[in-house]
Structure 1
Amino acid sequence: MADNVSRPRSPRGAGDQLADEILDATTDLLIEMGSAHAVSIRAVAQRVGVTPPSIYLHFQDKDELLDAVCANYYERFDDVMMAAAEGIDDLWHRAVAQGMAYVRFAIENDVVFRTTFSRVTRAGEPSLTDEVLLSSAFGHIRETIEEAMAAGLIAEGDPVAVVMQVWSVAHGVASLMVTKPGLPWGDDLATAEAAMRAVCSGLSQVPVKWEPIGFDVR
């Protein structure tokens, strides 16, 4: 759509709807183009049918817009983490299942994953996406680790430090599989599952009897 062609004036109270349309258009463009660098404010405006200044009424700049897109995308991850842990009583199997859910989500949503972690955020300055991740990935893994500590499976201490170890392994595997898919990963997620089991076995104060969980096909 040409820049000089715009949508009819929105009625009062339609700002939230326009913001949602901007997020949807940006998400579509991001996935279609495969890179945040290829997405521009002008392209988003054209897709929505507004002028570029209309975008800036809702988002300060492209970084803020992409952050909102990623945060919006990762809001569904909370449901993914809950589904991964559902019905798994063994706490270490649950931790592995949660880590594997993270890996799977990254692989299935690789463009958003790369965009999310391409920006550096510093202590005390979390992005909107950081806050969403802390309430989903971090929060659910922490619940599992705290239960494991209470059950005597892990030495008592700061659960945050343990969560960071588990999350770091899941994220490291996910990042490698997304950015280096040509490495010899095989046709399934066995390597990823083995890495998650290894970190959990290392943290456990008691021997862990592993059963196949079934993360077989990528």
Structure 2
Amino acid sequence: MEKTSPARGRNPRGQGARLREEIVSVTLRLLDELGDDQALSLRAVARELGIAATSVYIHFADRDQLVLATLERFHRDLMRAIDQAEAGAAGPVGKLRARVLLLGEVVNRHPGLYKVLHESTLNQRTAMAFKQDLAERTTTAVQRCMDAGLAPADDAATVSLDLRAAVHGAVSLRINQPDLPWTPLEEQVDRFLVKLVGIPPEAL
């Protein structure tokens, strides 16, 4: 027999925002398990919370709207964690390296969410402008290395794009082809920083 969550009571007046956040939290977990936004149903989300499906529709008109809100939450949390990792590192190179490595660590813990964020069909149907924040902050981190003379002067935005493309490719392959003979992510990231950003090996 299918296990169902216990029915929950009606939210007191003014607590609809709390239910919305609970819906997003459950969707985060389900998307991470499924790794596919098309496999998610609003009824499944409602069942996990022990509420009627209509209660989900009050906050989200359709699945795409719910998934988009959930990805925004995941990305916001990811950015906060990356910024904290950067703040704890020393020097421009250390901060850039910390940003990239933290991304890999988060993806290792939440591969399903990463796949939905970057590989889902929702990307083709909906503009996810919030993802630009990561691009801009990485460009700033690359520029700091250049300004400090720790990387050759260049177009920081182009170098940042090359770096992000390499990291995203590496992360995606590690998720989808885990049996390849991978070296530790730290070693791969250091090679990217040397070859793509131009940071001297001794500066790492």
Counterpart residue number, 1:88: 89
Equivalent position amino acid for 2:157 in 1: V
1:202 paired residue among 165, 170, 195: 195
CA deviation string 1:85-143 (max 9, x = no partner): 234334334322321111111111111111111235369x632xx50x333x3243222
Q: Distance in 2 between matches of 1:116 and 1:204?
A: 25
Q: Distance in 2 between matches of 1:27 and 1:87?
A: 27
Q: Distance in 2 between matches of 1:62 and 1:115?
A: 13
Cα displacement (A) at 1:82: 2.3
Ranges in structure 1 where 5+ consecutive residues have no aligned partner: 212-218
Report whether the alignment pairs 1:69 with 2:70: yes
Counterpart residue number, 1:158: 155
Q: Distance in 2 between matches of 1:75 and 1:204?
A: 26
State the aligned residue count. 201
Q: Distance in 2 between matches of 1:17 and 1:151?
A: 46
Is the 8 Å Cα contact of residues 35 and 115 (structure 2) preserved in structure 1? no
Equivalent position amino acid for 2:165 in 1: S
CA deviation string 1:165-207 (max 9, x = no partner): 1111111111111111111225xx2xx3333223322345674
Counterpart residue number, 1:98: 99
TM-score scaled by length of structure 1: 0.76
Counterpart mapping for 1:1-218 below 5 A: 7-33=8-34, 35-120=36-121, 121=123, 126-127=127-128, 130-131=129-130, 133-135=131-133, 137-185=134-182, 189=184, 192-204=185-197, 207-211=200-204
Comparing 159-168 with 86-95, greater Cα deviation is found at 86-95
Q: Distance in 2 between matches of 1:20 and 1:49?
A: 15
Q: Distance in 1 between matches of 2:44 and 2:96?
A: 41
Counterpart residue number, 1:216: none
Is the 8 Å Cα contact of residues 163 and 197 (structure 2) preserved in structure 1? no
Q: Distance in 2 between matches of 1:147 and 1:56?
A: 46
Q: Distance in 1 between matches of 2:150 and 2:132?
A: 24
SS of corresponding position for 1:57: helix
Comparing 30-39 with 166-175, greater Cα deviation is found at 30-39
Is the 8 Å Cα contact of residues 103 and 173 (structure 1) preserved in structure 2? no
Kindly report the root-mean-square deviation, in angstroms, between the aligned alpha carbons of the 2 structures.
3.0
Larger helix percent? 2
CA deviation string 1:26-81 (max 9, x = no partner): 22333444543432111111222322222122112112212222221232222321
Cα displacement (A) at 1:164: 0.9
SS of corresponding position for 1:12: coil
